[in-house]
Amino acid sequence: MARHRVLHLSDTHVSRTGPDEDGVDGVTALRGLLHDLRLVPQLDLVVVSGDIADDGSEEGCIAVRDLVGEFAAERGIPHIYSTGNHDRRDGFTAALGCGHLGPDGLPIGRSAELDDVVAAVSEVKGLRVITLDSLVPGSAHGKLGREQLKWLTAELATPAPSGSIVVLHHPPVSLDAIAFMQSVVLQQPEELGDALARSDVHAVLCGHLHHQLTGRLGQTPVWVTPGVITRIDLTAPPALARGVLGAGASVVDLGGPSDPMFHVLHARARDAGTEVYAYDPLTGVHVPA
């Protein structure tokens, strides 16, 4: 089986004006991270697993598309996007179409053609890349509808030459150990697990939590990449959710003897670790920095 290297980004949170709702400039964070990633070798594609635009705007999506697209074009590789809870489907599709773009920025994906869902599939050097839409407008948690899961099952019925990856925003994992994250993950993940059972999927790639972790959905590995805009600092007191500066990304190696393998990459920023916010998830009350 051929080997592939995937650069996995998530949660860029660029808005129409640049800064996100916490005042962090997503364009600066993304540009700095991509600069630090410029020497990572042998990449075959870039995926961005949601929350492209903090305000859901077309302008925010275009800013991310242009920065990631320039990085991808320099390497001659596709760049592929999925929706997140901050995104709006109209802004996403106006800027990114179905989310699958070639090195030249032109569409390469085949849409699922489902009402109110932005899901699609493409193939990169024999690797099938499937993006799912777990967006529930106005909510932090994610959900996959019956028709989308039916489409996914049909796509996976025929194996791809080098297997598949599935990209969506909300992780299909249980997070009992991190209570404030438990309510915002994918709801009813077992339905996705049923669709993936006995398929050729190497891994499910997700974002949303601004914190790297790995788990399994049935026998399928699940990887959650750190966020670009901020990361969640789990050294905070247990009652608090604390976000700090420090853009991160992952490289996912597929097809080797240890397939899949996940590497975490951090931007070389002097302000990394600086607190952006801290709040009590039960009350929503913010604690002064």
- Tokens 């996976």 belong to residue: 156
The reported pLDDT for the residue numbered 127 is: 98
3-state SS string for 110-165: EECCCCCCCCEEEEECCEEEEECCCCCCCCCCECCCHHHHHHHHHHHCCCCCCCEE
The reported pLDDT for the residue numbered 1 is: 66
Beta bridge partners of 48: 9, 81
4-279: CATH, from 3.40.1230.10, 3.40.50.1700, 3.60.21.10, 3.30.360.10: 3.60.21.10
CB-hemisphere CA count at 13 Å for 65? 25
Instruction: Collapse the DSSP code of 10 into the 3-class scheme (helix H, G, I; strand E, B; otherwise coil) and give the result.
Output: coil
- pLDDT values of the chain reduced to their tens digit, one per residue, 289 residues: 689 999 999 999 999 987 888 899 999 999 999 999 999 999 999 999 999 999 999 999 999 999 999 999 999 999 999 999 999 999 999 999 999 999 999 999 999 999 999 999 999 999 999 999 999 999 999 999 999 999 999 999 999 999 999 999 999 999 888 888 988 999 999 999 999 999 999 999 999 999 999 999 999 999 999 999 999 999 998 889 999 999 999 999 999 999 999 999 999 999 999 999 999 988 888 887 6
The reported pLDDT for the residue numbered 76 is: 98
The reported pLDDT for the residue numbered 124 is: 98
